[in-house]
Copies of this chain bind each other. A is one copy, B any other.
Amino acid sequence: MSPTIHDVARAAGVSIKTVSNVVNDNPKVGPETRLRVHRIIEALGYRPNLSARGLRSGKSGVIGLAVPSLRENYFAELADSVIRAAKKHDLRVLIEQTDGDRQQEISILTGGRMRFIDGLLFSPAEIGQQDVDVLSGIEPIVLLGERIFGGPTDHVTMHNTSSAKAATEHLLDLGRRRIALIGASDSADDAASSANLRERGYHQALAEAGIEEDPRLVIRGGKWTRETGLDGVRHFISNGIVFDAIFALNDTLALGALRALVHAGLRVPEDVALIGFDNIDEGSFSIPTLTSVDPGRLEIAETAVDLLIERINEKGERSAPRTVKAAFSIIKRESTGFATDDAGPPQ
């Protein structure tokens, strides 16, 4: 068995509390005692037992991150950013995957699977406004992304509508007029879903430009996968629907669409300009490179961790929930005609 604080205390001829004080840099211990204890700790290879510490202090030093799947690039990159942000505060991250499944999402929130984490960063995919009550659990939660507004928890999100509007305007600036939208929701119910928020920006931009919309240009339904993007373009082509630009509601859709465009012999950006959303790493290496909305992933991760830590350390009354929106930007690359000679690494 690994040595405990008792073993160290015995070997050093002091009380266990003194060892504890040394370990925690508690001032109440003289310099030479401190040195002696440190030496014994080193010699024995003592490491505090985090379960015991967690039990005693009520903190484990671990936060949870629940995302649909790490196989979706955006979430892998988000997880990377979260782990880095957490590390700065000496926190570790436990990752759960929900597969975008409502049952699994709820089970994580209620199941107590994560009982010893100090707090949870939760990126919901399916649960929405109607599930607000399951969020009022005990542990601090910070929500990432959309779907639940006015809930009882902090919320870090992005400028979905205005950035989507900016993306559409970028295509309009290129002179495109028949701009397709891929990845729209097939249900208007959940007005706060990413899909519906972003779609709103699309409509706003077109309206302000005085463009008459063709509803056939909007592909609804389907998961935000490459298949959906690919099928969307195929649908346009096989039905003779003409388009000169595509706004895909995330990069994965855009990359799927890109594949179908190339396959069909359409040139990007000459025949069709293409813009995605998320600015995943892959977009700077696709052929052509992909113009995309950068939703501020790094800022989202860092803000979320900061908010969560505040909640964890909050004593007494829980203060009112806050919502933070990260700054966005449009990253212009080859798929809308902007040369990126050197396909450099993303930030």
B-contacting residues of A (Cβ < 8 Å)?
A: 2, 47-52, 54-55, 60, 62, 69-71, 73, 76-77, 79-80, 83-84, 87, 92-97, 112-116, 138, 225-227, 230, 255-256, 258-259, 262-263, 281-282, 285-287, 343-345
Q: A-B pairs with the 8 shortest C-beta distances?
A: A47-B112, A76-B76, A51-B54, A50-B116, A51-B55, A70-B80, A50-B115, A94-B94
Give the residues in chain B near A54, CB-CB below 8 Å.
51, 54-55, 116
Beta-carbon nearest neighbor of A263 in chain B: B287
Beta-carbon nearest neighbor of A284 in chain B: B226
Give the residues in chain B near A50, CB-CB below 8 Å.
115-116
Which residue of B2, B95, B287 contacts A79 across the interface (Cβ within 8 Å)?
A: B95
Instruction: Identify 27 residue pairs between A and B in the complex whose beta-carbon atoms are under 8 Å apart, listed by A's number.
Output: A48-B112, A49-B55, A50-B115, A50-B116, A51-B51, A51-B55, A51-B116, A54-B55, A60-B116, A62-B94, A70-B76, A70-B77, A70-B79, A71-B76, A71-B80, A73-B76, A80-B97, A92-B94, A92-B114, A94-B95, A225-B345, A226-B285, A226-B343, A227-B345, A230-B343, A256-B343, A286-B287
Copies of this polypeptide in the complex: 2
Give the residues in chain B near A76, CB-CB below 8 Å.
70-71, 73, 76, 79
Beta-carbon contact of A115 and B47 below 8 Å? yes
Beta-carbon nearest neighbor of A289 in chain B: B259
Beta-carbon nearest neighbor of A345 in chain B: B227
Given contacts A55-B51, A69-B80, A343-B230, contact A255 B94 (CB under 8 A): no
Which residue of B71, B83, B227 contacts A97 across the interface (Cβ within 8 Å)?
A: B83
Give the residues in chain B near A256, CB-CB below 8 Å.
285, 343
Beta-carbon nearest neighbor of A83 in chain B: B97
The answer for the CA separation of A343 and B95 in the assembled complex, in Å, is 29
The answer for the CA separation of A80 and B73 in the assembled complex, in Å, is 11
The answer for the CA separation of A52 and B52 in the assembled complex, in Å, is 7
